[in-house]
Amino acid sequence: MEKPWVEKYRPKRLDEIVGQEEIVKRLKKYVEKRSMPHLLFSGPPGVGKTTAALCLARELYGENWRENFLELNASVAKDTPILVKINGVIKRTTFEELDKLYFNSENIEKLFDGEYVETKNLEVLTVENNKVVWKPVKYLIRHKVNKILEVRFEGGKIKLTGNHSVMVFNENGELTTKHAKDLKVGDCIISFVSSLKDKRYELTSMLYAAKGFKNKIRYPNIIKLVYLKGLADVNSCENWDGVVRLSSKDLSVDIVWLSRILGIESSIFKGEVRLMWKKHKNSDLLPAKMFIKFFEKISDKIKINWRCILRHQLYGNKNMVSKNKVIAILNNIKVDELTEDERKIYKNLRNIALSDLHVVKIKEIKLLDYNDYVYDVSVPNNEMFFAGEVPILLHNSDERGIDVIRTKVKEFARTKPIADAPFKIVFLDESDALTADAQNALRRTMEKYSDVCRFILSCNYPSKIIPPIQSRCAVFRFSPLKKEEIAKKLKEIAEKEGLKLEPSGLEAIIYVSEGDMRKAINILQTAAALDNVITDELVYKVSSRARPEEVKEMMNLALEGNFEKARDLLYKLMVEWGMSGEDILNQMFREINNLNIPEKKKVELAEAIGETDFRIVEGANERIQLSALLAKMALLGKRL
């Protein structure tokens, strides 16, 4: 999969950062001296704060920068399936349904750009000591994003943000995290097949019969269990071909999850559920690389010819290996001769081979438009959970709660930095959204680990950072990017991608992005997916924004007393262009200075727009409030 262009064209060196020359000079001094204080980056979105932190880490640590840089930030789509236990009853549901259950109380906490709600009766499936177990959820978390990744793998798919982490095995057989944006086709992610003992199930759909049977039959849950168990117990089912064909997507996902917790392998393929009880199953497969590396290292301590057993993995193109093969080799290792470190790796690999976990290979990754809520769950002392059409082990990537910050930093600070610099870097984005109590807790964490870690805090509003933190940081104020700087970068990208960027299209992107380089590049990539010629019409279409002249015309019509025509144009913007009330108000606010009315009336109009914005944010009907604003403008125009 091609990376999102924001990542593909993100600067890798400090010298490549545009529009922040003075900041770059100061940061390069830190690189030269291999010494720096805590840093506070402030400025509007898309001006290079995150990029500067990443470039600084690359220049300080070179190729080892990832091991020395901890980024605390994300989440899965609302339609992502998940198996939960609510008040002791197991239910296959989606995050959208969980939202309806839990995000309806007055106990919602706001932190950064997200919302948290505490859950006292909710459990999810996770992994503990390589075993699939139920664990209680402390928080359900949501926030909005514009883009999302769809990861298709063997047997299913899952949608998640680029910053959301999935769990993978490292070379020593340990569970570790990997950002979705860093995944590529061919990578392996983790799933499970396990026999859990729970008996109370609630599925979202009724069960259908197989092959050619069209009438619906409703079954009690216990019969559904017996049905699946019966399929698994049959050794020769030629009439079924190992496939249950279903007409309902929800039912397909239900059966996949139900079969997985009954110890039956399952997958979704071209709209069908496949239940597999044959001898050779994907649930027996693990990545070969981590085993081969270990066996190479201790080859003289293995009593059998392991190279012959793994000949297809060593000399062919197979990168997966069955559990039976690696167990056979592990059982013939001279454990008494292993060093302490080798024994630790041996134990990890053996536990994995004997566990219910297995891996599936990624087949395709796509970037999708989304513009909706994404979700996460917080599992105390674990922070992992299974979700997806076919269960995939994910990490709680909304890592900005102060409890998670403490835990992650403590774990991160345990090891020494790998490079010349005597410290590691912890990067905390959107730190201005932390409450005062959370910031005080963060301050204590910064003090505790100041010998081994340097914190880089990023924010939009430095005034929201408490003075004790500001006084401990060198403050860098990032200025909005100039029109020429954004234009130069967009032209460079367009040339490399073979696009024809019309002058009108370039102006439109600059207008819509409002000095945000990240937004500008995203708009260009979205437009390029539709046409190689980037025009202003295409830009406004993909960004769901109206032309400035249309918004100005609507405002002038209202001021001239043509309320009905102005309202008709408003409805056109909302229905045909798909603009939200917030977007329309923002564009109206930007057009105030272009109106031919007295300064005093501009002040009144700005106040009216601000009042309407507040009402909409508080939950008032957008169409009614915007119509009322146009009516107020019509009355204002009569007094001109």
Q: What does the pLDDT look like over 600-635, one tens digit per residue? A: 889 999 999 999 988 887 778 888 999 999 999 999
Quick one: pLDDT at residue 306? 93
Among 9-18, 270-279, 408-417, 533-542, whose mean pLDDT is lowest? 270-279
Going by pLDDT thresholds of 50, 70 and 90, the confidence category of residue 55 is very high
Going by their DSSP bridges, the two strands 114-118 and 139-153 should be labelled as antiparallel
What residues are paired with 369 via a beta bridge? 147
Quick one: pLDDT at residue 207? 36
Q: CA-CA distance, 628 to 622, in Å (whole number)? A: 10
CATH class name, domain 5-72+402-477 = alpha beta
CATH architecture group of domain 76-193+360-395: Beta Complex (2.170)
Going by pLDDT thresholds of 50, 70 and 90, the confidence category of residue 226 is low
Quick one: pLDDT at residue 401? 53
User: Among 15-24, 310-319, 368-377, which range has the highest average pLDDT?
Assistant: 15-24
319 exposed, middle or buried (CB, 10 Å; 0-12, 13-18, 19+)?
middle
Q: CA-CA distance, 502 to 386, in Å (whole number)? A: 46
Give the pLDDT mean for 526-552: 85
Question: Which is nearest to 264 in space by CA: 251, 253, 278?
Answer: 278
Quick one: pLDDT at residue 278? 53
| Residue 294: pLDDT over 90 | yes
Give the pLDDT mean for 365-387: 84
The token duo for 284 is 């027996």
Whole-number percent of the chain with pLDDT over 70 = 83
| Residue 327: pLDDT over 90 | yes
User: Bigger pLDDT: 506 or 216?
Assistant: 506
User: Bigger pLDDT: 244 or 215?
Assistant: 244
Quick one: pLDDT at residue 435? 66
Tell me which DSSP letter residue 302 carries. B
Element (H, E) at 222: helix 221-233
Domain locations along the chain: 5-72+402-477, 76-193+360-395, 221-242+251-277, 283-355, 483-543, 548-638
Query: Please, are residues 362 and 333 in contact by the beta-carbon 8 Å criterion?
Result: no
Going by pLDDT thresholds of 50, 70 and 90, the confidence category of residue 586 is confident
User: How many DSSP H helices and E strands does the chain contain?
Assistant: 23, 28
Going by pLDDT thresholds of 50, 70 and 90, the confidence category of residue 303 is very high
Going by pLDDT thresholds of 50, 70 and 90, the confidence category of residue 240 is very low
The token duo for 209 is 């019969």
Quick one: pLDDT at residue 77? 80
Q: How far is CA 369 from CA 80, 401, 588, in A?
A: 16, 27, 25
| Residue 60: pLDDT over 70 | yes
Quick one: pLDDT at residue 190? 92
Q: CA-CA distance, 448 to 444, in Å (whole number)? A: 6
Cα of 450 vs its chain's centroid, Å = 30
Element (H, E) at 308: helix 306-309
| Residue 564: pLDDT over 50 | yes
Give the pLDDT mean for 276-286: 65
Give the pLDDT mean for 541-547: 77
Q: How far is CA 500 from CA 34, 43, 225, 328, 540, in A?
A: 44, 32, 58, 59, 17
For 238, other C-beta atoms within 10 Å of its C-beta total 6
Quick one: pLDDT at residue 171? 81
Among 212-221, 337-346, 368-377, 559-568, whose mean pLDDT is lowest? 212-221
User: Bigger pLDDT: 112 or 500?
Assistant: 500
Q: How far is CA 284 from CA 191, 360, 630, in A?
A: 11, 10, 65
Query: Please, are residues 595 and 555 in contact by the beta-carbon 8 Å criterion?
Result: yes
User: Bigger pLDDT: 320 or 317?
Assistant: 320
| Residue 1: pLDDT over 70 | no
Quick one: pLDDT at residue 515? 84
Strand, helix or coil for residue 34 = coil
The token duo for 117 is 């709600």
Give the pLDDT mean for 180-203: 74
Question: Which is nearest to 191 in space by CA: 453, 388, 440?
Answer: 388
CATH topology of domain 483-543: Helicase, Ruva Protein; domain 3 (1.10.8)
Quick one: pLDDT at residue 13? 92
| Residue 216: pLDDT over 70 | no
Domain 548-638 carries which CATH code? 1.20.272.10
Element (H, E) at 533: strand 533-534
The token duo for 128 is 């503990």
Quick one: pLDDT at residue 45? 84
Q: CA-CA distance, 18 to 488, in Å (whole number)? A: 10
Whole-number percent of the chain with pLDDT over 90 = 28
Element (H, E) at 40: strand 38-42
Quick one: pLDDT at residue 264? 74
Q: CA-CA distance, 318 to 340, in Å (whole number)? A: 31
Quick one: pLDDT at residue 71? 76
User: Bigger pLDDT: 254 or 403?
Assistant: 254
Amino acid at 58: R
Question: Which is nearest to 291 in space by CA: 169, 121, 473?
Answer: 169
The token duo for 457 is 């805090």
Quick one: pLDDT at residue 27? 94
Residues sharing a CB contact under 8 Å with residue 476, sequence separation 6 or more, in sequence order:
23, 26, 27, 39, 40, 41, 42, 52
User: Among 270-284, 399-413, 551-565, which range has the highest average pLDDT?
Assistant: 551-565
What residues are paired with 264 via a beta bridge? none
Residues sharing a CB contact under 8 Å with residue 445, sequence separation 6 or more, in sequence order:
402, 405, 406, 409
Quick one: pLDDT at residue 281? 59
User: Bigger pLDDT: 410 or 103?
Assistant: 103
- CB burial readout 187-218, b (16+ within 10 A) else e: bbbbbbbbebeeeebebebebbeeeeeeeeee
For 299, other C-beta atoms within 10 Å of its C-beta total 10
Among 82-91, 100-109, 306-315, 350-359, whose mean pLDDT is lowest? 100-109
Going by pLDDT thresholds of 50, 70 and 90, the confidence category of residue 174 is confident
Residues sharing a CB contact under 8 Å with residue 82, sequence separation 6 or more, in sequence order:
92, 93, 94, 95, 98, 124, 385, 386, 387, 388
Give the pLDDT mean for 88-116: 79
User: Among 324-333, 532-541, 575-584, which range has the highest average pLDDT?
Assistant: 324-333
Instruction: Work out the mean pLDDT of the chain and round it to a whole number.
Output: 81
Quick one: pLDDT at residue 237? 41
